[in-house]
Amino acid sequence: MADNIQRLLSIMSALRDPQTGCPWDLKQSYASIVPYTLEEAYEVADAIARENFDELKDELGDLLFQVVFYAQLAKEDGRFAFDDCVAAICDKLERRHPHVFGELSADAAPDAEKVLNAEPLNAETVLQNWEALKSGERIATGQHSVLDNIPMAMPALSRAYKLQKRCANVGFDWPDVSGCWDKVKEEILEVEQTAPGSKALEEELGDLMFALVNVVRKHKLDPEAVLRAANSKFETRFRGVEQLLAEQDKTPQQSNLDEMEALWQQVKHQGR
């Protein structure tokens, strides 16, 4: 494994060689490769969703290359190298798993000791301690708000979930999902009472979507995964409608809403 990692680092270095490197790779910067990083991460998620593990192997390699690319740029700038990235994640994992790697460090979060003493130790307790340790680390680096360090570039749905989760960790949360549903109903009424096409409607629709994320979170689900599944279901059913129309030598453009709705219900009842 070490030989292959070194091989990858050498390839990256060759691609960025000022004299003999690849012109495209030489043009890149931290910012310019961010879209490719996001694309590769989504392709990893897609391969997992389709349970295509042969493809997953390739997609993980593509994602690893993105990490190596950033590390090469940082090395050229004299900031850090790939080994520093590896050391940083190793330190973090050991620090945040005191129940696996030994005693708590002196700067551990105040309530972190409960993980070592928990009987029985379970995933929920470990997750609580992980968040407590992260909170302590944020304070130690001068980040005093519980909402610090949540990337603005995250997909809005994921960021909403993260914001709510951080607040829930400090007690700013409804005790159960019924409070979340009450908020959703309140937001629906506000949307219905807001003038169409107004700036206020945009704001109220955002509030409604944010409230729905809270419902999903309370059910211990990931809103991105939930919506991704809904997208997939919609796509499968609409493709089914297109297939049935094709059997009639028609396209959606040559059909109407009533016809397509009837076919949609037919596809739905077929369990698609």
**pLDDT 10s digits, 172-215:** 999 999 999 999 999 999 999 999 989 999 999 999 999 999 99
Least confident of 146-155, 156-165, 201-210, 228-237: 146-155
The confidence score (pLDDT) of residue 112 equals 53
**Model confidence band, residue 106 (pLDDT cutoffs 50, 70, 90):** very low
Give yes or no for a contact between 163 and 150, defined as CB atoms under 8 angstroms apart.
yes
**Model confidence band, residue 101 (pLDDT cutoffs 50, 70, 90):** confident
Distance CA 199, CA 203 (A): 7
**Model confidence band, residue 97 (pLDDT cutoffs 50, 70, 90):** confident
What integer is the mean pLDDT of 229-238? 93
The confidence score (pLDDT) of residue 150 equals 86
The confidence score (pLDDT) of residue 244 equals 95
Residue 120 clears pLDDT 80, i.e. is over it: no
Distance CA 124, CA 131 (A): 11
What integer is the mean pLDDT of 52-69? 96
**Where is pLDDT greater, at 106 or 155?**
155
pTM equals 0.64
What letter represents residue 191's amino acid? Answer: V
**Where is pLDDT greater, at 2 or 216?**
216
